[in-house]
Structure formats: structure tokens, C-alpha cells
């Protein structure tokens, strides 16, 4: 049976919030609470072993979908495929929408002049809003007409590929991903593995020299050119983590080259 669009049921320019999750029990309730204004919430879970499914299913608006992991872009397209409203807002499990941003999203969707909208992200390390280091304004395209956008098929750092005119929202999204040094280490290791695989797929060659020079330049760019030193200890940690992630990525890519040669 064909599913109705929310707009066909009388919700003009309805909005679906879509999310992908895995073991997010510590943050998911607060995130969902921040988007209860949406007409529906689609959550795609890739096999969580904690209380994430239970928490999500306790929210009446949530459509919960089990889906084996296929990569960030493909996973988000699964969520997009389950959305039924004219508009979609993509949200990560460690982000939240303020009442001001929620009101702006509803207002824009009801009188949109564009097909998609960028939103600024306020990134936090612990309780500190990081205003430099390349972390602000950190614009990401998150609100778009469902029939005008798809996520790129990338294993990491996926983006929305939009057909149509793009605008910008004024109110920021809050992102609280890092709470400790261990969080930075885990992300650097995980993303560098995915990045190395992407380099292999694109045929990009690596070497120990490239790993070192790219890592050093990344630290300089983050800490000096992007004024990371103004963020204090957080800026130093971000610069070092970015450099380590780039170094790991090139070294892992070199390992893949050597295995295939």
C-alpha cells in the first residue's frame, strides 16, 4: 500500500527528523526531546547493544528501523527513504535543536524560498563552546526538501547532494560530541580507518613522508591559521587530534597499499 505524505494528511509542509544511531543511550533521550516538535522522527539503528532501542521506542513519534551498518551515507539514505513528509531535517545523536532553531525551521518550511538550508553548528568540548579551530561556524546542510536531496555514498564525511536553491538558517544547532581526551582518540582512530579506505578507493597513493608532512601541516592549520590557540586547552587538543587523525589515515592507507602490492 502506498504511504501517504504528511502533507496529504493535512500537515502542510510537514517535517521529518531523521537520525542514524548506534549505542547512544547516554544522549539519545535528550536529543529526541529537542525534536518533539517534528511531525515524525525516523531513527535507523545499526544493532545497538545498549538501551538505545528501548529509549527510542518509548517516544510515540519515533519510527524505529533496524538496519545493518552500510556506511554513513547509505545509512542516512535508508533513514531518508523511511521519511514521509515534504521536508527533512537530518540530526546526529549527539546534537540538539534549540526552541529558537525549531521555530525557525517550522517558519522556513511553511514559506520556503529555497530547496535546502545550511545551519551553523555550535561545537562543544565538555561545556566549552569552541569558537575557533575550524569548529565555528561549521555550516552543514541539514534541512531540505525530501525529493530534492540525497546523501553522498561515502563511508565518512557524507554530505547532502541537493538539486535546487540553497539558503541559510540563522539559529545554530548544538553539537556535544567530545567530553574527554578518550573521545578524541576514538574518533581519530575510527575516522582515519574509513578515510584510508576512501583513499584506496580513489587510487590516492600514500607514504610515510606524506603522513608526516600532512599531519604537521594539519596541526599548523588548526592551531595557527584557524586560531585554535585562542581556544586554550581545547584548541591544542583539537589541533593534535586532527594531526593524529591525518597521520593515522595516511599510514593506514600505506598499509593497504603494501598489502595489495
Location of C-alpha cell 563511508 = 155
What pLDDT was estimated at residue 156?
74
Instruction: Quote the pTM value.
Output: 0.89
- Average pLDDT rounded to a whole number, residues 49-66: 97
> Both 99 and 29 in a single domain?
yes
> Both 41 and 53 in a single domain?
yes
Q: Give the pLDDT confidence of 150-208 residue by residue, as tens digits.
A: 999 877 788 999 999 999 999 999 999 899 999 999 999 999 999 999 999 999 999 99
- With bands split at pLDDT 50, 70 and 90, how would you rate the model's confidence at 13? confident
Average predicted confidence (pLDDT) for the chain: 93
Q: Which residues contact 153 (CB under 8 A, 6 or more apart)?
A: 71, 73, 74, 77
Q: Give the pLDDT confidence of 129-152 residue by residue, as tens digits.
A: 999 999 999 999 999 999 999 999
Domain with 236 in it? 180-260
> Both 52 and 132 in a single domain?
yes
> Both 50 and 18 in a single domain?
yes
Asked whether residue 233 is domain-assigned, the answer is yes
> Both 213 and 255 in a single domain?
yes
> Both 211 and 161 in a single domain?
no
Asked whether residue 146 is domain-assigned, the answer is yes
What pLDDT was estimated at residue 11?
52
- With bands split at pLDDT 50, 70 and 90, how would you rate the model's confidence at 113? very high
> Both 31 and 42 in a single domain?
yes
Count of structural domains within the chain: 2
What pLDDT was estimated at residue 7?
43
> Both 169 and 195 in a single domain?
no
> Both 139 and 231 in a single domain?
no
Check if the beta carbon of residue 22 is closer than 8 Å to that of residue 45: yes
Strands in the chain per DSSP E: 15-21, 40-45, 62-66, 87-90, 95-96, 116-119, 121-125, 128-129, 140-145, 149-151, 160-162, 166-168, 173-178
Q: Give the pLDDT confidence of 203-233 residue by residue, as tens digits.
A: 999 999 999 999 999 999 999 999 999 999 9
> Both 245 and 212 in a single domain?
yes
Whether residue 105 is predicted with pLDDT greater than 90 in this model: the reply is yes
φ and ψ at 21, to 5 degrees?
Answer: -140, 155
- Average pLDDT rounded to a whole number, residues 102-111: 95
> Both 154 and 189 in a single domain?
no
Domain boundary (177, 212, 235) is at 177
**What is the Cα–Cα distance from 258 to 261, expressed in whole angstroms?**
5
Q: Grid coordinates representing 190?
A: 575510527
Asked whether residue 1 is domain-assigned, the answer is no
> Both 185 and 157 in a single domain?
no
Q: Which residues contact 79 (CB under 8 A, 6 or more apart)?
A: 18, 19, 20, 42, 43, 44, 65, 90
Amino acid at each position: 500500500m502506498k504511504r501517504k505524505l504528511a502533507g496529504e494528511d493535512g500537515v502542510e509542509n510537514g517535517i521529518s527528523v531523521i537520525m542514524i544511531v548506534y549505542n547512544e543511550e547516554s544522549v539519545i533521550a535528550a536529543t529526541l526531546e529537542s525534536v518533539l516538535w517534528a511531525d515524525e522522527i525516523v531513527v535507523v539503528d545499526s544493532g545497538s547493544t545498549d538501551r538505545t532501542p528501548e529509549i527510542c521506542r518509548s517516544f510515540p513519534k519515533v519510527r524505529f528501523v533496524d538496519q545493518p551498518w552500510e556506511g554513513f551515507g547509505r545509512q542516512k539514505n535508508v533513514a531518508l527513504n523511511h521519511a514521509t513528509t515534504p521536508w527533512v531535517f537530518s540530526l546526529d545523536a549527539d546534537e540538539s535543536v534549540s526552541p529558537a532553531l525549531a521555530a525557525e525551521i517550522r517558519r522556513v518550511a511553511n514559506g520556503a524560498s529555497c530547496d535546502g538550508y545550511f545551519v551553523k553548528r555550535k561545537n562543544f568540548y565538555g561545556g566549552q563552546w569552541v569558537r575557533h579551530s575550524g569548529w565555528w561556524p561549521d555550516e552543514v546542510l541539514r534541512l531540505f526538501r525530501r525529493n530534492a536531496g540525497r546523501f553522498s555514498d561515502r563511508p565518512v564525511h557524507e554530505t547532502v547532494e541537493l538539486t535546487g536553491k540553497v539558503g541559510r538558517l540563522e539559529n545554530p544547532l548544538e553539537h556535544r560530541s567530545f567530553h574527554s581526551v578518550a573521545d578524541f582518540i576514538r574518533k581519530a582512530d575510527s575516522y582515519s580507518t574509513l578515510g584510508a579506505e576512501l583513499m584506496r578507493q580513489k587510487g590516492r597513493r600514500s607514504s610515510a613522508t606524506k603522513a608526516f608532512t600532512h599531519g604537521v601541516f594539519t596541526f599548523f592549520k588548526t592551531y595557527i591559521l584557524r586560531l585554535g590557540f585562542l581556544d586554550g586547552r581545547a584548541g591544542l587538543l583539537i589541533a593534535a587530534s586532527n594531526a593524529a587523525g591525518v597521520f593515522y589515515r595516511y599510514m593506514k592507507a600505506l598499509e593497504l597499499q603494501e598489502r595489495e602490492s
